[in-house]
């Protein structure tokens, strides 16, 4: 299996669809650290059903958070979009339509079911920059509300996960030795206060300039000790870039251009591969785009640039 720098290794299985959902094939997201022998981040696997459009614009986060997609799952879809657009990776038509609906239509955004607790980070974690924030990232939340005393509370879903993480200060996502985005959260590993400087961290490693210009966007965070916040993705195309992520939402936060995108509904029982293959048909596997990126990463590593 090819392990790519926060791009996806994708194997497709098609199944019967309903009008409002699409079955996503198995997508595994790895950090580039896997290629470099830095086994710090395991793969994030996306497989199941998602919605086909952003809906319910303007509703408060507390009212929709239980049904939202996680940022990590949406990051997997983002990688599939980038691979299709820039590397001509084949995607099933219905999956392609959804990822282009999400990522190729500036002017909208969607909430996620993630929460960042800026009060409960592991203060023993070593920060790469003095401006980094040590936080507790909660992936998959069922309840998010503000009590009468003003405190913000949240409840993790049964299938949720918690991670002690280090988030960057607000800024533009830059390239790191681990790649661009943390597979476990979907959030940028590191940011740069200047957009042009952030773009150069990608192009200096061999990424095409049009690719870097498109993907470099602003990530927003709070300071350590500043409470609990929800997370959204936005595709506004303004000064914040095409694919901004904001981890500073309160429970009653809302924007009229930010809606809901239903979370993945995974199968209750996956069964054995033989049972699954009896009802699904393999569509596509690896394509030239994947091979080209793997070759590029290996060359950069040999040249000592990674």
CA–CA separation, 138 vs 62, rounded Å?
A: 15
CA–CA separation, 43 vs 60, rounded Å?
A: 32
pLDDT for position 301: 64
Instruction: Render each residue's pLDDT in the chain as its tens digit; 306 residues.
Output: 333 344 433 433 333 333 488 888 777 776 665 545 555 666 788 888 888 899 999 899 999 999 999 999 999 899 888 888 887 777 888 889 999 999 988 889 999 999 999 999 999 999 999 999 999 999 999 999 999 988 999 999 998 999 999 999 999 999 987 788 988 899 999 999 999 999 999 999 888 898 899 999 999 999 999 999 999 999 987 788 899 999 999 999 888 899 999 887 764 333 332 232 323 222 222 223 344 455 565 666 677 765
CA–CA separation, 255 vs 248, rounded Å?
A: 13
Nearest to 114 by CA among 171, 73, 85: 73
250 in Cβ contact with 270 (< 8 Å)? no
SS3 letters across 70-83: CHHHHHHHHHHHHH
Give the max Cα distance, the chain. 58
pTM of model > 0.85: no
Q: What is the pLDDT of residues 234-276, one digit of tens each?
A: 998 778 889 999 999 999 988 889 999 988 776 433 333 223 2
CA–CA separation, 162 vs 242, rounded Å?
A: 28
pLDDT for position 86: 83
pLDDT for position 32: 62
> E strands, the chain, where?
8-11, 13-14, 21-29, 44-51, 108-117, 133-146, 152-167, 171-173, 191-192, 218-220, 228-235, 244-249, 258-259, 281-282
pLDDT for position 42: 65
pLDDT for position 267: 44
CA–CA separation, 296 vs 109, rounded Å?
A: 32
Q: What is the pLDDT of residues 283-305, one digit of tens each?
A: 222 223 344 455 565 666 677 76
């Amino acid at each position: 299996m090819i392990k790519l720098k926060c791009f996806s290794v994708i194997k497709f299985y098609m199944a019967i669809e309903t009008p409002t959902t699409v079955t996503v094939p198995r997508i595994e997201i790895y950090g580039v650290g896997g290629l470099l022998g830095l086994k710090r981040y395991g793969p994030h696997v996306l497989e199941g059903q998602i919605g086909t459009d952003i809906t319910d614009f303007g509703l408060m986060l507390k009212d929709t958070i239980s049904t939202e997609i996680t940022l990590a799952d949406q990051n997997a879809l983002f990688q599939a979009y980038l691979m299709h657009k820039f590397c001509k990776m084949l995607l099933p038509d219905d999956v392609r339509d959804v990822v282009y609906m999400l990522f190729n239509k500036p002017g909208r955004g969607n909430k996620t079911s993630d929460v960042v607790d800026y009060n409960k980070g592991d203060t023993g974690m070593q920060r790469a920059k003095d401006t980094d924030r040590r936080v507790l990232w909660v992936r998959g939340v069922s309840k998010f509300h503000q009590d009468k005393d003003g405190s913000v509370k949240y409840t993790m879903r049964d299938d949720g996960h918690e991670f002690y993480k280090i988030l960057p200060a607000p800024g533009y996502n830059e390239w790191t030795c681990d790649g661009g985005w943390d597979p476990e959260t979907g959030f940028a590993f590191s940011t740069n206060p200047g957009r042009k400087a952030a773009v150069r961290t990608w192009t200096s490693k061999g990424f095409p300039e049009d690719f870097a210009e498109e993907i470099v966007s602003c990530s927003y965070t709070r300071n350590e000790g500043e409470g609990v916040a929800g997370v959204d993705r936005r595709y506004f195309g303004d000064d914040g870039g095409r694919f901004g992520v904001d981890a500073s939402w309160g429970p009653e936060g809302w924007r009229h251009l930010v809606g809901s995108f239903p979370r993945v509904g995974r199968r209750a029982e996956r069964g054995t591969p033989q049972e699954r293959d009896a009802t699904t048909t393999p569509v596509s596997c690896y394509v030239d785009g994947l091979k080209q990126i793997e070759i590029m990463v290996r060359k950069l590593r040999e040249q000592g640039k990674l």
